[in-house]
Chain A
Amino acid sequence: MGTLQSLSDEPEYRELAEKTGFSFEQIGILHKRFKQLSHNENTLRRADLDTIPDLACNPIRTQIIEAFFDKRNFHQNGDGTVEEISFEEFLVVMSHFRPPALNMTEEQREKVRREKLRFLFNMHNTDNDGTITLEEYRHVVEELLSRSGALGKETAKGIADAAMLEVASISMGHMEPDEFYEGITFEHFLKILKDIEIETRMNIRFLNMDTTTLCNRDSSSIR
C-alpha cells in the first residue's frame, strides 16, 4: 500500500472514513482494488466487474453487480441505476458489509441490521415499487438454484410459491379465502428474517491482504 498515495489523499480519505466508517487502512486497500479493477481510471463500469474470474461462477452475480450500480444503495435517496460509479460510491456500497463494532448498543445494532436487510431487499426489488412480488422472488430462487444442475423451472416456482405463502402466513396471520397477498413489503421482510442475525453474518473481514498477487492473476486472465 503506497504511503505516498495515502498522504496525498488524506483529506479525502478522512471525509470518506467519516462517511462510511472504514479505517484509513481499509480505504487504502479498497482504493487500490478499485484502481486495479477500473484499470486506473476514476470510474468503474459493469464491464470491468464482469471480468473477475471467480465471480463468474457465482449464481447471483448479475444481482451483485447490479447492486453496485443501484442508486438506492448510495444512501442519497436516489433511484434507478447508473452506468459507472466513482470510488466514493463504491465505498458506500461496500460499507454495507462492514462488520459491526464490538460494543454497540441495541439501537445501533438494529440500525445496522436494517441497513443490511435493506441492501438485500433492494437486490430483490428490481422495479423499486416497495414490495417484492412473486415474479421477483421466483427470479431470485431460479438464479440461486441455477447452479445445482438441471432442476426444472417448476421446482423453483414451487419453492418460491411456498416461500411467499410462508411470508404471508407469518406476517398476515389468518387470511380470508378471498384475500390476496400483494407482495413482501420491507416490514414483512424484516419480520421473516429477524432471527437470522444478519449483522453477524453479512460481513467481510477486511484483512490486510497483499493484492499484488491478485493483480497478476486477474490481469493474466483479462488478456
Chain B
Amino acid sequence: AQPLSEWAFTRHRLYFLTIGLVLLNLPCGSYTEIPPKPPGTVTVLPPVTPAEGPQAFPDAENSNLPVFTMNYARIQVPFEVTLWVLLASFAKIGFHVYHKITFWVPESCLLISIGLMVGAIMHSVHEEPPAVLSYNVFFLFMLPPIVLESGYFIPTRPFFENVGTVLWFAVVGTLWNSIGIGMSLYAVCQIEAFEVQDINLQENMLFAAIISAVDPVAVLSVFEDVSVNEQLYIVVFGECLFNDAVTVVLYNMFNFVAEMPEVEPVDVFLGVARFFVVGLGGMGFGVIFGFVASFTTRFTSNVREIEPLFIFMYSYLAYLVAELFSISSIMAIVTCALTMKYYVEENVSQRSCTTIRHVVKMLGTISETLIFFFLGVVTITTEHEWNWGYIMFTLLLALVWRGLGVLVLTQIINPFRTIPFNFKDQFILGYGGLRGAISFALVFTLPDSIGRKKLFVTTTICMIMFTVFIQGISIRPLIEFINVRRTNRNLETINVEIHSRLIEHTIAGVEDLCGQWSHYYWKDKFLKFNNRILRKILIRDNRAESSIVALYKKLELQNAMEILDTVSGDINAGSSIVSLQYVYPLSHSSACFLSLSLSLSRSLSLACSLSLACSLSLSFSLSLLLAFSLSLSLSLSLSLSVSFCGLVTLSVSLSLCPPGCLSYTSFHIVHPSSLTHYPFNLNRSDGYLRNPEGFGLGSIYQG
C-alpha cells in the first residue's frame, strides 16, 4: 500500500494518460486512410511551426539541411499497434485501482466496456478501427498465445484423470448444441412474424455451429478468479479447449454445404471421417512437435539464452502446420504444450524456465486484453441488422440446449466417473458456457453469399455480450449462493504431496491386489514406459526424479529467495531516506543513520528495533550501534512510528546531542516484517524442530 497521496496522484495521472492516448489514437485509425509516403522522402519544415502531420508537402525551394523532420507514414503500422496495446494495458492497470470492481466484474467485461467507449469515440469521428478481429490477424496472431498459455498451465494430473469426461463433453456436447440450436432456429425461422424465412436450413446450421462452441478466452478469464472444485474446473477448461475440433469440422462442413443446393448422406459420412482426421490429426501433430521440441532442448546447454525461443517457435509451428492442413490448430498447440512442458522444464536452465513461463503468461494476457478490447470497439463500428425475434430466440435456445445437453450427457457419463457430478456441478457446467471472440471472428468470415450476414453478426455480438456480461458477472455470486464444492487449488505443501503419492501407490497396490483395474493401472504403466524409454531419449541428464523431490527442491528455492528478500528489504528501507541534513562520515557516503525506534506494530506489541540503513541486517546491528553511538556522538535518537494498514511503518526520529555533535533528522519507511519475523535463533545444530518459523533457514543452514 502506497501512501495515500501517491496513490491519488497515480490515479489522476492514469486518467490523463488514458484520455491522452485515446485522443492520440484517433488520427491513427485506419491503415488505408493516410496515403503512404514513398520512402526516402524528407519533409522539410520551417523551424518555427510545429509538425503539420503527414500531409506536409516537400518544399520546392529547399537547399538547407533540415534540422527537424518527421516521417509518420514509415512507422505508422508498428506505432499504431504499440499505441493500441499500450492503451489496452493502461485500461488493465486502471481496473486494479479499485479492487472491488475486479472482484465482482470479470476483467473481460471491463475491457469490453472500455472498448465500447473507445469504439463510440471512433465512430463519432468517423474513423475505422484497425482490423484486429479479421480472420487472418485473429487466428494467426491473436489466438495462438492465449491457447498456448492455457495449454502450458493446464494442471496435468487432473486433466488426465478426467480426459474421458472432457472429450465427451467437448465432442458430443458441441455436436448436440449445434444440431439442436440449428434445428430449432430453422423451426423459428418458419414463423412468419419474424421475417426471417429466407434463411434456409444450411445457413441456420452454419450459424449454430459458430455460436455453439464454448470459447476458451471468455471461459478461462472468468473461471480463473473463481475457485470451483478441481473436477469441475478441469472439465470446463478442457471442454472449451477441445471443442475446437468439432467446431472446425462443422463450420467447414456447413460452409461447404451452404453453397451446395442439396446435401447427400455421403457428405455426412465424410463429415464424420473428417472429424477424426481433424481431431486426431491435431493431437498427433501436437505430440510430434512436443517431442521434437523436447529433443531439441536436450542439446541446448550451450545456448541458454535462446532456449525459450524453441518453445515458442515449436508451438507456433505446430499451430501453423495444423492450419496448413485445416485440422484443429488449437488442439495441436495445446497438446504440443502439454507434451513439451514436462520434458523441457527438466532440460532447460532455471532462468529459461522462468522466462518461458513468464513470457507465455505475458503474451497470453496481452492477446486476451486486446481481443476483448477490440470486441468492444468493433461492436460499435460494424453495421448491424437487428431482428428481435431471431436474436431473442437464439439466446433462449442456446441456454436451453446447453442446459439440456449438460443434463443428458452427465447422466450418461456419471456412472463411469469416480466422482460423479451432482446437480450443482452440472448447473455451473451449463451456466459456464460462455461464448467469445472465436465465434465473432468466425462469423465475420462468413462468405458474403449468405444474405443475412449482418443479422448473424448482430446476433453473435448479442450472444457474446449476454454471456460475457450477464453470465460472467453473475457466476461468482451464484457459485457462492448454491455452494458448489470448492477446492483449495494451492496445495503446495510437502505433506500433501507425499500423501498424494502415498494414496496413489496405495490405491494402485490394492487394485493389483484385488484384481480391479482403473486408470491408476494405466497411469502406472505409462510411467514405467516413460521412465524406461522416453526420458532416456528426451532428457539430457536422466535422473529419475520423484515429484516429491521436485516439490521439495522448489520449496527450498522459494524459501531461500524469501530469506534474501527479507535481508534486502532493509537495504531498500535505507535508500528511501528523504531528508538528511548532515551526512555523518562514518562509513559510506550514502546516508547512514542511527536511530532507536519504538514501533507499534499491528498487534500493538512493543517491539524494539534498531535499524542501520543500507547494509547490515537487524540482528547484527544491535551491538554495533551501541558502540558507535557511545564513542562517537552520544546522540540519543527517539523515533515514533505509525503504521499504515499494518503493512508499512513510518518512523520519524529526532536526535538530541551535546553541542559539537551532529544533529540530524531522518525519515524512513520500515517494513514491519523485517522487524518482527526475523528469526533470532540462527544457531541450529539439531534444533530443526525448535523454531518452526525459521523453517527454510533451518534446512538451509543444515544442508
Contacts and interface: CB of A to CB of B under 8 A. Distances in A.
Given A33-B515, A64-B513, A148-B545, A205 B506 contact: no
- Name the interface size band of chain B: 35 or more
A123 interface: yes
B494 A159 contact: yes
A178 B549 contact: no
Contact of B693 (A94, A164, A166, A174): A174
Nearest to B231: A200
Contacts of A198: 503
A16 interface: no
A164 B689 contact: yes
Nearest to A180: B689
B514 interface: yes
Contact of B689 (A49, A64, A158, A165): A165
A93 B548 CA distance: 28
Contact of B514 (A33, A164, A175): A33
Interface string B206-225: 00000000000000000000
Contacts of B20: none
A165 B692 contact: yes
Given A55-B513, A60-B502, A140-B502, A177 B695 contact: no
A64 B503 contact: no
Contact of A144 (B502, B689, B691, B702): B502
Nearest to B493: A166
A151 B549 contact: yes
A141 B498 contact: yes
Interface stretch (B293-301, B321-329, B416-424, B615-623): B416-424
A214 B515 contact: yes
Contact of B544 (A30, A54, A149, A193): A149
Given A55-B513, A204-B516, A162 B681 contact: no
A102 interface: yes
Contacts of A200: 418-419
Contact of A196 (B500, B528, B555, B692): B500
Nearest to B698: A165
A195 B552 contact: no
A12 interface: no
B502 A204 contact: no
Interface residues of A, number: 70
A172 B514 CA distance: 40
Contacts of B552: 155, 158-159, 162
Contacts of B487: 195, 197
B690 A179 contact: yes
Contacts of A205: 418, 516, 518
Nearest to A116: B503
B514 A30 contact: yes
B689 A168 contact: yes
Q: Which of A61, A103, A177 has the most CB of B within 10 A?
A: A177
Contacts of B507: 97, 201-204
A172 B506 CA distance: 29
B491 interface: yes
A64 B521 CA distance: 16
A101 to B, nearest CB: 10
A51 B672 CA distance: 61
A120 B543 CA distance: 29
Nearest to A117: B499
Contacts of A30: 514
Contacts of B692: 165, 168-169, 172, 174-175, 181
Contacts of A155: 549, 552
Contact of A195 (B496, B549, B555, B681): B496
Contacts of A162: 494, 552, 555-556, 695, 699
Contacts of A52: 512-513
A108 interface: no
Given A148-B546, A169-B693, A204-B510, A209 B517 contact: yes
B505 interface: yes
B511 interface: yes
Contacts of B516: 29, 204-207, 209
A219 to B, nearest CB: 13
A187 to B, nearest CB: 14
B509 interface: yes
Contacts of A168: 689, 692
Interface in B671-703: 680-681, 687-693, 695, 698-699, 702-703
Contacts of B418: 99, 200, 203, 205
B508 interface: yes
B62 interface: no
Nearest to A145: B546
B510 to A, nearest CB: 6
A179 B691 CA distance: 8
Interface in A130-171: 140-141, 144-145, 147-149, 151, 155, 158-159, 161-170
A47 interface: no
Interface string B538-560: 00000111101100100110000
B501 interface: yes
B495 interface: yes
A192 interface: yes
A202 B548 contact: no
A195 B680 CA distance: 32
A92 B598 CA distance: 63
A148 B549 contact: yes
A21 interface: no
Contact of B510 (A97, A102, A179, A181): A97
B612 to A, nearest CB: 25
Contact of B513 (A49, A123, A148, A195): A49
B518 A204 contact: yes
- Which of A36, A64, A164, A179 is packed against the most chain B CB atoms within 10 Å? A64
A209 B515 contact: yes
Nearest to B499: A193
B502 A120 contact: yes
A58 interface: yes
A125 B230 CA distance: 30
A180 B491 contact: no
Interface in A64-97: 64, 68, 94, 97
Interface string A16-48: 000000000000011001001100000000000
A148 B544 CA distance: 5
B488 interface: yes
A30 B516 CA distance: 10
A161 B552 CA distance: 11
A211 interface: yes
Contacts of B688: 161, 165
19 contacts: A58-B512, A64-B513, A97-B510, A102-B422, A140-B502, A144-B498, A149-B543, A158-B702, A162-B556, A165-B689, A165-B699, A169-B693, A177-B687, A177-B690, A193-B495, A193-B499, A196-B496, A196-B500, A197-B230
Given A177-B681, A177-B691, A195-B496, 18 more contacts: A55-B509, A120-B502, A123-B502, A140-B502, A141-B548, A144-B501, A144-B546, A148-B549, A155-B549, A159-B549, A165-B689, A175-B691, A180-B689, A195-B487, A204-B507, A205-B516, A205-B518, A214-B515
Interface of B: 229-230, 418-420, 422, 487-488, 491, 493-496, 498-503, 505-518, 521, 524, 528, 543-546, 548-549, 552, 555-556, 680-681, 687-693, 695, 698-699, 702-703
